[in-house]
């Protein structure tokens, strides 16, 4: 019994909790299907007894029966399933809570009325009363099997007074009837409590299972969102975009969708100037503006500030270009953030999926027509690259004329990725001249790469492939090692200049690694000039500055290459750990005929002197350019006028060349 009580208390606690709403609904619904039948039985019993005693019992006692019949009718109507279903959850809880008290009181009232009736009847009528009481008690117990406490209250209210009356009659048959009635009621109550214990156990187990299923469903939904949704923008993430691409390539029934890649121009400036919160605000707003465009089937963020969009395949080339231009205009609108207006532009590259006539698997190793989403991304990215070169928020749709170029680039990139760089790289050197005496004061090393040992790729393509394939660090190591072996700068009393990429500048441990290479080749860091571009420093200024300081601490000299290309300000010359600057070739070309260019170059030269920095101008191709530079006080020059890049042997042979 104690165990049943504990389980019953647990069930009642569950009923009081909002989390058990489903159980309350099921519980009250089960009872509502039986209680109206019970009240119908009671109503029939009351009418039967009133009719049987209509001549024997006083009108007042009969009136009580009529009142009980009315109450039974009202209560039965209240418990009709459709009326119970219409109640609110809280009303259902209150109805269940009142049931035990109301049931016990009504049973007691019915019992007292029947006892009062029996006092006015014959032996046969009194026996009818006892049979009616027994039937009503049994009906109540059966009907309230799911509410055993209420059933127990009614059983006690019926059986104890009835047994007392029967025993008080001093009739052997009546006593036996009372005993049988008590045994039957007790047996039924034991069975009901036993069954109810199983009911409670099942319901509690079902509740736990339901909670686990709900938790599993929530976790499954959360896992799905994490696997497919970008938390920052609310769009698809890279994985989901690729899945959508593969699905559309495999199952497209009409025109294939358009794939557009969007890259933000100026986003890094916003991030560095206003902080990551501002950058996040920009990304969210850009995603919102992308989603507002017509014809967008799906969109998401591939990573960083690059987005992917799938446009409706019903668009033709002109329509998708016009839509992307509207998107570019929308993205360029100011974005409010903490009282300021943030602005970015975007470049967009577009490619239609499924253009099988343009794909040649034997060359590319991939085929968009067979759901190769990666190949489609490559072409959209090629269009994006072309758009970024054009600048000003350009939109480029990948076409037939781009395919041959892309196919050739893909082939060469794969060859570069698979090549042994030590065997396919060669270096050429261009001298830096001190025009005061014609001495070669430094040699700048340029790398060349050949896929077959006969044709050599231009530097721009070669470096792009090195970045794309993640081999830039390997290239830097090979170039430095080979340059030291070929030139031995310490033995020739000239400096050797090596270019560092943006990735080199921020790579951890680069200073120690380059110092070890120099020592292994018998050189000294003091004889090496490491050139970095202004743009490379913009990617992560603080980290780049720390790395440059570490390189200088090892003894390397640092040169800022292509200064004046439009990326940095003069104030950076003071903040960066530099030893010399190299003016951009565009300034050299403009010096003879552009007073503005001469003024800019003059300011840079003057500032470099004040900061104790050496100054070199590159890109000198004519005597007029050399003379204009010399007039500004620049003595270190580099360019085709003084010598084209050549092998180490050829350049070292002209160390004593004089300037014409």
Please list the alpha-helical segments (H only) found in 361-428. 361-364, 373-390, 400-418, 421-424
Average pLDDT over residues 636-646: 91
Cα→Cα distances 412→225, 405, 544, Å: 39, 11, 31
- In whole angstroms, give the CA distance from residue 198 to residue 209: 16
Average pLDDT over residues 95-108: 78
pLDDT at 375 over 70: yes
Please report the pLDDT score of residue 487 as a whole number: 83
pLDDT tens column, 173-188: 656 666 666 776 677 6
| Cβ atoms 264, 327 nearer than 8 A | no
Helix H or strand E segment including 30: helix 21-32
Please report the pLDDT score of residue 15 as a whole number: 45
Residue ranges, comma separated, of all CATH 3.30.70.270 domains in the chain are 238-415
Q: Using H for helix, E for strand and C for coil, what is the string for 186-209?
A: HHHHHHHHHHHHHHHHHHHHHHHH
pLDDT tens column, 153-163: 666 666 666 66
- In whole angstroms, give the CA distance from residue 284 to residue 39: 64
Please report the pLDDT score of residue 264 as a whole number: 92
- In whole angstroms, give the CA distance from residue 352 to residue 376: 8
CATH number of 419-652: 3.40.50.1480, 3.40.50.300, 3.20.20.450, 2.40.50.140?
3.20.20.450
Please report the pLDDT score of residue 248 as a whole number: 84
Average pLDDT over residues 52-64: 85
| Cβ atoms 634, 597 nearer than 8 A | no
Residue ranges, comma separated, of all CATH 3.20.20.450 domains in the chain are 419-652
pLDDT at 356 over 70: no
Kindly indicate whether the domain formed by 238-415 is annotated with CATH number 3.30.70.270. yes
Residues 6+ apart with CB under 8 A from 64: 113, 116
| Cβ atoms 156, 55 nearer than 8 A | no
Average pLDDT over residues 82-88: 85
Cα→Cα distances 425→206, 265, 387, 462, 465, Å: 71, 34, 31, 10, 13
- In whole angstroms, give the CA distance from residue 383 to residue 352: 11
Q: What percent of the chain has pLDDT over 70?
A: 83
Least confident of 58-67, 177-186, 213-222: 177-186
Least confident of 201-205, 365-369, 546-550: 365-369
Please report the pLDDT score of residue 326 as a whole number: 94
Please report the pLDDT score of residue 618 as a whole number: 94
Q: What is the mean pLDDT of the chain?
A: 81
């Amino acid at each position: 019994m104690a165990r049943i009580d504990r389980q019953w208390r647990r069930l009642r606690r569950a009923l009081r909790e909002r989390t058990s709403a489903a159980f309350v609904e099921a519980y009250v619904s089960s009872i509502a299907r039986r209680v109206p039948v019970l009240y119908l039985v009671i109503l029939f019993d009351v009418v039967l007894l009133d009719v049987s005693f209509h001549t024997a019992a006083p009108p007042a006692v009969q009136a009580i029966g009529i009142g009980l019949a009315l109450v039974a009718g009202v209560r039965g109507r209240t418990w009709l399933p459709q009326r119970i279903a219409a109640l609110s959850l809280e009303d259902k809880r209150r109805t269940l809570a009142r049931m035990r008290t109301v049931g016990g009181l009504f049973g007691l009232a019915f019992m007292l009325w029947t006892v009062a009736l029996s006092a006015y009847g014959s032996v046969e009528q009194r026996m009818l009363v006892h049979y009616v009481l027994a039937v009503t008690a049994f009906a109540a117990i059966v009907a309230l099997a799911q509410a055993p406490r209420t059933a127990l209250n009614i059983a006690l209210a019926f059986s104890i007074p009835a047994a007392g009356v029967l025993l008080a009659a001093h009739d052997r048959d009546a006593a036996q009837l009372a005993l049988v009635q008590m045994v039957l009621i007790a047996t039924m109550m034991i069975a009901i409590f036993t069954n109810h214990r199983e009911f409670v156990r099942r319901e509690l187990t079902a509740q736990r299972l339901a909670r686990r299923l709900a938790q599993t469903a929530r976790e499954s939904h959360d896992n799905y969102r994490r696997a497919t949704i970008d938390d920052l923008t609310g769009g698809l993430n890279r994985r989901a975009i690729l899945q959508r691409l593969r699905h559309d390539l495999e199952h497209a029934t009409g025109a294939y969708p358009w794939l557009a890649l969007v890259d933000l121009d100026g986003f890094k400036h916003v991030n560095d100037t206003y902080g990551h919160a501002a950058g996040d605000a920009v990304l969210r707003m850009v995603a919102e503006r992308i989603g507002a465009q017509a014809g967008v089937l799906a969109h998401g963020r591939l990573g960083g500030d690059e987005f992917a969009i799938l446009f409706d395949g019903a668009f033709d080339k002109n329509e998708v270009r016009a839509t992307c231009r509207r998107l570019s205009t929308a993205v360029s609108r100011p974005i409010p953030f903490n009282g300021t207006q943030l602005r970015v532009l975007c470049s967009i590259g577009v490619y239609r999926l499924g253009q099988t006539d343009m794909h040649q698997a034997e060359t590319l190793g991939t085929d968009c027509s067979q759901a190769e989403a990666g190949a489609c991304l490559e072409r959209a990215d090629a269009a994006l690259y072309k758009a970024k070169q054009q600048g000003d928020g350009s939109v480029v749709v990948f076409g037939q004329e781009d395919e041959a170029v892309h196919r050739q680039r893909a082939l060469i990139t794969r060859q570069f990725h698979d090549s042994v760089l030590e065997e396919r790289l060669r270096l050429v050197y261009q001298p830096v001249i001190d025009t005061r005496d014609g001495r070669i004061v430094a040699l700048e090393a340029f790398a060349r790469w050949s896929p077959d040992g006969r044709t050599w790729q231009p530097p721009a393509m070669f470096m792009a492939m090195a970045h794309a394939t993640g081999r830039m660090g390997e290239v830097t190591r090979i170039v430095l090692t080979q340059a030291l072996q070929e030139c031995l700068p310490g033995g020739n009393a000239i400096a050797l200049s090596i270019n560092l990429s943006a990735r080199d500048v921020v790579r951890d441990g680069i200073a120690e690694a380059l110092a070890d290479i120099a020592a292994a080749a018998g050189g000294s860091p003091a004889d090496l000039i490491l050139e970095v571009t202004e743009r490379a420093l913009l990617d992560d200024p603080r980290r780049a500055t720390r790395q440059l300081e570490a390189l200088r601490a090892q003894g390397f000299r640092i040169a800022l290459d292509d200064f004046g290309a439009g990326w940095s300000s003069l104030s950076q010359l003071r903040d960066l750990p530099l030893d010399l600057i190299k003016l951009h070739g565009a300034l050299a070309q403009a010096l003879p005929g552009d007073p503005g260019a001469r003024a800019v170059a003059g300011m840079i030269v003057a500032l470099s002197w004040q900061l104790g920095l050496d100054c070199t101008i590159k890109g000198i191709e004519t005597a007029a350019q050399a003379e204009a530079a010399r007039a500004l006080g620049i003595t270190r020059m580099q360019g085709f006028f003084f010598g084209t890049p050549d092998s180490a042997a050829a350049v070292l042979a002209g160390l004593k060349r004089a300037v014409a």
